[in-house]
Structure 1
Amino acid sequence: MGNRSTKKSVDDEVKEALERKDEALAAAKIQVYLEEEKNVPLNIAITGETGSGKSTFVNAIRGVGDDDEEAAPTGVVETTMEATPYLHPNFTNVKLWDLPGVGTMNFTAAKYLKEVGLEKFDFFIIVSADRFRENDVKLAKEIQKMKKEFYFVCSKIDVDIENEKRKREFNEEKTLKQIRDNCTQGLQDQGFESPQVFLVSSRELHLYDFPLLVETLERELPDHKKNAFLLAMPNTSLEMIDRKKKAFKSKIKYLATLSAAVAGVPVPGLSVAVDLSLLVSVVTQYVFGFNLDIPSLKRLSNYTGVPYEELKEVIMSPLAATIITPDLLLRILVQTAGMALLMAVEEGSRFIPILGIPFSMVLSFTFTYKALNLVLDMLAEDAKRVLHKSCGVNG
């Protein structure tokens, strides 16, 4: 069932609960929906021949360097002997599986997929260092038979480009076309009519086809998996940051409605306390999703070679590169025009007979809606500044 129909049913259920003045039920429906969205499992399988750069690709997507403590081991010989899961550092519902090299055994595609457990993976990325070979094609055809999605990624493009640069007549665009045509022709020779090959550098994900790969995967995933995938990806383009922002923004009306439902409970001080607790949790997700938490920035510094302090210097929001607390958030919101007044009026309106609670609910919705949009805008702009500083991507 797609996300759109799920959203519609949630909207209807919440509306019905509020029409019956059952604010507690409305809040419970929204909390269940948000919790399910946050914990959608996503399992990505990375496979290919030995030495193709699978493990480096896994590390790159997770934003960790090959020599980091939590990195998938890499080497010139096969270092992965069984399917090994690596959790995303910020989103533990997302697992990247480093699969054994398909060239390390007396290869039978069906047996290989049975051994690694085909059914648990949402899709496969088949990695090659130069061109795709018979084993890659056997594996792809078997995945196809099982009605699973797969994508061909030619890694180490930076190495190919560096080697070609030594030639007198070097032209990067022409070189990339030759590599793509070579990979595509090899697959067509093996029986694939119109394969799509993504050219990627695990060392510089913002270059070449990685942003296109992410866009393609996001488009082709089931609706309820799209956000889990998108938010776990590193920021490699301004468009990707905008898509993350859009994904976060789509949940704000539910969060504001949850805040309003709590405001319908006539307990003094409860609404503001719940609002702040809710905001801390959501803003922390924003910081993680935009990779603006301290560990992510340090990993980015190690990965790109740009000093951590230089990355921090371009950040404008006091909510990035820090631990979000209710006091910090309250202090920032109070300094923002109109937000302090909204909080004060909301709490005071509870004591107005008859109309006080409905008025308080409207104010609570407005406060949460405005606060989250404000913070989301700030953090998205910070993410763009960090991307420019670390990779030279301009706005």
Structure 2
Amino acid sequence: MPSQNSDKGEAIQASGESNFKKAAKKAKKQVDNLLHVSLNIAVTGDSGAGKSTFINAIRGLEDDAQGAAKTGVTETTTEATPYQHPTMSNVTLWDLPGIGTPNFKAKTYLKDVKFDTYDFFMIISSERFRENDIMLAKQIQKKKKQFYFIRSKVDNDLRAEGSKISFSTEEMLSKIKTNCEENLKEIRNPKVFLISSKEFCAIDFEKLVDTLVSELPQHKQNALLQSVPVSSMAMLEKKVRMFEKAAWAAAFVSGAVAVAPVPGLSVACDAGILLAFFTRCYYSFGLDEKSLEKLSGRVDRPSLRVLIKSNLVLALAAESAARQEISALAGGAAVEYLCSLVPGAGSALAAVISFGLTHRLLQNGLKELANTARTVLREAGLQ
């Protein structure tokens, strides 16, 4: 019993709450926020503006990949079309028809696309934002939801002007943004972000993510941050800090604290939560094969995959198919598997009864995954 009480006290202290019941409620909520909270992103704009390319880039897909949103210079979107994130199933991007198209009149647009479905809107244009874009922004504003203007295909503008002797990338980008803001003067403090279709993670991508994270409700921030591509070391560290904050809750909800049942919280060891936690880190940090391949192509360094030496990363890669049914794994066997992945975790029995040990297991695994991702980014030159 002393050991059990010690685990209980340690778990309560880690939660920052005053008693076990409050700690249990907070832990369950944090794990739900990490793994299950839905995020629905609406992407709209005229045909050819780059909506589908934007959706594919956020999802880490090339335009010609299986499951990618259809792209084209003509209007390819005739109805609101959902595209689920390939590794974060709780995140969905919606390709919406452009406002003012024959079946989606400007005055009834929000009703026709089911406005309440979406957490926020991205309004995309590859040139000037038009009257319908401004009208849509005003309608969204009245309904008190966030919207953001994305000026796409900026790489085309830079390429067109790049041959001039007096060309300056910084001055050109400043000019484009100023023109957009002047074009949107009817909107108070318009939030405009410049995005390149070829180098998606360049220019204003991280500024866009930072803005979204700062303005989304707390329970939606984790979903967004997990789903966006790792564009730099700074972006990776934001993701790492997010998972560090959630590690105690995953340890708690996994049933590592052997106490009497609390309504809504299972105290039987749920190794599926531990595996789900590591799997989320694995995909969010861009350590899966597809992400590594895409990054290798982007920076023209084909050797990135050979940098993976971590036993934990290799095990997650080898078991990727099983992870689709992660919740079906047997508790005891899965705990043994997890303990074998992280040296020093101790016996499976100990992991079942010790909050502290399970918490350390998560911290050690997270550290190993984060260090592997840092190595990859340094080799890729994305400091």
Shared fold (TM-score, shorter chain, > 0.5): yes
For 2:224, which of 229, 232, 246 is the aligned residue?
229
Q: SS of the residue aligned with 1:47? A: strand
Residues 378 and 133 from structure 1, CA distance in 2 versus in 1: closer, same or farther, beyond 3 angstroms? Answer: same
Structure 2 residue 273 is matched with structure 1 residue 284: no
Aligned residue number for residue 79 of structure 1: 76
Structure 2 residue 200 is matched with structure 1 residue 205: yes
Give the stretch that moved more between structures: 206-215 or 249-258: 249-258
Query: Cα distance, 1:37 vs. partner?
Result: 4.1
Aligned residue number for residue 98 of structure 1: 95
Aligned residue number for residue 130 of structure 2: 133
The letter for the 2-side match of 1:181 is: T
The letter for the 1-side match of 2:246 is: K
Residues 78 and 306 from structure 1, CA distance in 2 versus in 1: closer, same or farther, beyond 3 angstroms? Answer: same
Q: SS of the residue aligned with 2:303? A: helix
Residues 233 and 153 from structure 1, CA distance in 2 versus in 1: closer, same or farther, beyond 3 angstroms? Answer: same
User: Matches of residues 331-342 of structure 1 in structure 2 within 5 Å?
Assistant: 331-334=340-343, 336=344, 339-340=345-346
The letter for the 2-side match of 1:315 is: I
For 1:195, which of 177, 186, 190 is the aligned residue?
190
Aligned residue number for residue 326 of structure 2: none
Query: Cα distance, 1:275 vs. partner?
Result: 7.1
Aligned residue number for residue 165 of structure 1: 162
Residues 79 and 305 from structure 1, CA distance in 2 versus in 1: closer, same or farther, beyond 3 angstroms? Answer: farther
Q: SS of the residue aligned with 2:311? A: coil
Residues 201 and 239 from structure 1, CA distance in 2 versus in 1: closer, same or farther, beyond 3 angstroms? Answer: same
The letter for the 1-side match of 2:20 is: K
CA contact (8 A) 1:78 1:104 kept: no
CA contact (8 A) 1:44 1:121 kept: yes
Residues 279 and 323 from structure 1, CA distance in 2 versus in 1: closer, same or farther, beyond 3 angstroms? Answer: farther
Aligned residue number for residue 15 of structure 1: 20
Aligned length, in residue pairs: 351
| Inter-partner Cα distance in structure 1 for 2:126 and 2:22 | 56
Residues 15 and 264 from structure 1, CA distance in 2 versus in 1: closer, same or farther, beyond 3 angstroms? Answer: closer
CA contact (8 A) 2:255 2:270 kept: no
- The two structures have a TM-score, normalised by structure 2, of 0.81
CA contact (8 A) 2:193 2:208 kept: yes
Aligned residue number for residue 289 of structure 2: 294
Q: SS of the residue aligned with 1:90? A: coil
Query: Cα distance, 1:181 vs. partner?
Result: 0.8
CA contact (8 A) 1:56 1:72 kept: yes
- Which digits, 9 at most, give the CA deviation of each residue in 1:321-347, with x for residues without a partner? 51357665433423x4xx33xx48948
The letter for the 2-side match of 1:368 is: T
Structure 2 residue 110 is matched with structure 1 residue 121: no
Query: Cα distance, 1:296 vs. partner?
Result: 3.5
Structure 2 residue 363 is matched with structure 1 residue 373: yes
Aligned residue number for residue 304 of structure 2: 311
The letter for the 2-side match of 1:122 is: D
| Inter-partner Cα distance in structure 2 for 1:13 and 1:41 | 30
Aligned residue number for residue 328 of structure 2: none
Overall identity of the aligned pairs, in %: 43
Aligned residue number for residue 21 of structure 1: none
CA contact (8 A) 2:201 2:231 kept: yes
Query: Cα distance, 1:76 vs. partner?
Result: 1.0
Residues 84 and 300 from structure 1, CA distance in 2 versus in 1: closer, same or farther, beyond 3 angstroms? Answer: farther
Query: Cα distance, 1:210 vs. partner?
Result: 0.6
| Inter-partner Cα distance in structure 1 for 2:29 and 2:144 | 31
CA contact (8 A) 2:33 2:222 kept: no
| Inter-partner Cα distance in structure 2 for 1:33 and 1:178 | 43
CA contact (8 A) 2:33 2:220 kept: no
Structure 2 residue 149 is matched with structure 1 residue 149: no
Residues 345 and 195 from structure 1, CA distance in 2 versus in 1: closer, same or farther, beyond 3 angstroms? Answer: closer
Unaligned runs of 5+ in 2: 1-11, 261-267, 320-333
Residues 204 and 259 from structure 1, CA distance in 2 versus in 1: closer, same or farther, beyond 3 angstroms? Answer: same
Query: Cα distance, 1:61 vs. partner?
Result: 0.4
| Inter-partner Cα distance in structure 2 for 1:95 and 1:345 | 39
| Inter-partner Cα distance in structure 1 for 2:47 and 2:74 | 7
CA contact (8 A) 2:97 2:104 kept: no
For 2:374, which of 384, 387, 390 is the aligned residue?
384
Residues 259 and 195 from structure 1, CA distance in 2 versus in 1: closer, same or farther, beyond 3 angstroms? Answer: closer
CA contact (8 A) 2:83 2:94 kept: yes
| Inter-partner Cα distance in structure 1 for 2:146 and 2:273 | 37
The root-mean-square deviation of aligned C-alpha atoms, in Å, is 3.2
CA contact (8 A) 1:45 1:96 kept: yes
Q: SS of the residue aligned with 1:230? A: helix
| Inter-partner Cα distance in structure 2 for 1:143 and 1:275 | 42
